[in-house]
Structure 1
């Protein structure tokens, strides 16, 4: 399978030879698993790392999750039964044979991810290089504690930027030169940029060429990720009011955010609105942008603006459908 590279990839690759664990985190479906598989491909093809020295575990596989939950020593025995590569390495060895690269996807499912990473880095970094990914900032922060400072390097994966979007569309443009280009090129780029704004920056959405299929995929993503997974993460009890909160918030995108007015409109407590915001920011749905003032007190007390991380999600939540028109709010977002 051919994967399309992301700009963040070389930054992560730079740390493959360091002892620290690599932690890749971001929203669901932004390409974390693809980035891990690109790293595996790079190790095998460019770095000439043998097949038996690379392991990829997806913790959505319950059997693999059970193996990892039984602890570091149990996992190492599991790996030893499947490879002879560097099997005689000990903490005091010179490790002349090279490391085993261990990729663990969806680390937030692990019972004690923080302890697991700490033990791997402190006791087994001579033999293993650990690369993990996670989908939710809230889950990652709750599972990976401050005890890992100095033991991990973190990389946040976001949606595509416009240049990456063009790569996914297999379009080649020199964006540094488009200001002086011909009208035909400008028209093509305008159409592509409108598609980028209307349907958003999720890699899978960009790869789908049929517009109806784009709509369907984006709708399914919202139904499963926002209206199920995120509600489960936040343990939302009043689902109707949470959904109303999302709709009203989408309608206010790009505008000043009045917490009291929002709470009153939905009929929930002010503290609940704050909890919802922490949930949405921690799961890469929306973000508050505070105004800039030279006076710090003013900056902290003045009303922020609200923006969504993905314009496709904003478009759907605002209209309950994908509207193929670039509004001022959508463009500003």
Structure 2
């Protein structure tokens, strides 16, 4: 597969130069292994290989011995890559010991945070490790000939899918992803007892991606407790399949804002196949899919930013006023609406105007759409091409 340069490579190199180790999390097929092949290392261990994993599961001292032997041979501290570290979470404790004794520097990767978060079992190496996240490709990472919006909405932006030239090959690979990872590994990772209910949940969660989620309502549709629905969504978060987006709750008016979250599937191609949708973008839902595309781009770009920005949505309890996305730049709010149109007007900015009037710490608002270049629609309100929304963050 042709390597597509990733912006997070710079973040990794900066951390390594500061003598920090790196914990790189990312869903399957986001390109972690391919990325690491670009970085010179002294030892590469993939726990995805059963023989390798079984060897160290039996005796973790073997790994300790290999790394200490490397340290003896090297004039500098060796750089060790351990891929899929969640397969043997106890390696985190071993890594802490070696880091503290200055015997090794690590890049640890994982496609699930679930086992790494279990209390009392795993040390997440606070202060010793820089935690980074590898997402599907951002717009700025896409090759110039891969920026067809319809294709991106249909097939998503996983590197392996983007590099395929034929639509049928993209579809085949996405089907394989669903069957080999979502349906098997996520269930195994979660130790789900009721496989049938989890499969129904997965399809419904994909269909509801981008919508406000009411656990009790979903529990009635699937026939399980609302606490089970909450646990299932936590599984998707831990396995890096879904992003939880909180509503903006801050207001100085008497407006009652929703307290319910949204969830976004991490990739639109994976979402579509999980929801059992075909290869035609339905006119009824295409606006929602574009909204999710913009939300994911903002989230993925925030992951690359040096500043700690956040993303929210804004909606009152009866839905009379809502804004698709709110970018929180350390207290400065930027409201963002999405419209799949090349001819936006100030009428499309009604909710943006409401938001600007109610929040003092914001003076600009944007409609992300398909205009060829940036347009000023009104004082402080702009239409912005979807290809250029990275300028809101970087």
The reply to whether TM is greater than 0.5 is yes
Q: 1:24 to 1:306 in 2, by over 3 A?
A: closer
Is 1:112 the equivalent of 2:90?
Answer: yes
- CA apart distance, 1:162: 1.6
1:1-333 to structure 2, matched below 5 A, reads 3-40=3-40, 54-69=42-57, 74-78=62-66, 87=72, 97-123=75-101, 125=102, 127-142=103-118, 145-146=122-123, 148-166=125-143, 169=145, 189=147, 192-294=148-250, 302-324=259-281, 327-333=286-292
The residue aligned with 1:179 is none
Aligned counterparts of 1:69 and 1:77: Cα–Cα separation in 2: 14
The answer (yes or no) to whether the contact 2:137–2:157 under 8 Å persists in 1 is yes
Stretches of structure 2 that go unaligned for 5 or more consecutive residues are 293-394
The residue aligned with 1:181 is none
Aligned counterparts of 1:147 and 1:304: Cα–Cα separation in 2: 27
Q: 1:220 to 1:66 in 2, by over 3 A?
A: closer
Aligned counterparts of 1:281 and 1:88: Cα–Cα separation in 2: 41
* Equivalent position SS for 1:16: helix
Aligned counterparts of 1:329 and 1:216: Cα–Cα separation in 2: 25
The answer (yes or no) to whether the contact 2:85–2:110 under 8 Å persists in 1 is yes
Aligned counterparts of 2:134 and 2:142: Cα–Cα separation in 1: 14
Aligned counterparts of 2:256 and 2:184: Cα–Cα separation in 1: 34
The TM-score with structure 2 as length reference comes to 0.66
Q: 1:119 to 1:63 in 2, by over 3 A?
A: farther
Q: How many residues align?
A: 287
Judging by fraction of residues, say which structure has more strand: 2
Structural RMSD (CA): 2.8
Aligned counterparts of 2:54 and 2:194: Cα–Cα separation in 1: 33
- CA apart distance, 1:282: 1.2
Aligned counterparts of 2:256 and 2:193: Cα–Cα separation in 1: 33
CA distances 1:261-297 after superposition (whole Å, capped 9, x unpaired): 110111110110010010011112223322212159x
Aligned counterparts of 2:207 and 2:4: Cα–Cα separation in 1: 34
The residue aligned with 2:311 is none
Q: 1:103 to 1:147 in 2, by over 3 A?
A: closer
Aligned counterparts of 2:115 and 2:266: Cα–Cα separation in 1: 18
Higher relative contact order (CA 8 A, sep 6+): 1
Stretches of structure 1 that go unaligned for 5 or more consecutive residues are 44-53, 90-96, 172-188
The answer (yes or no) to whether the contact 2:2–2:163 under 8 Å persists in 1 is no
- CA apart distance, 1:166: 2.4
- CA apart distance, 1:250: 2.4
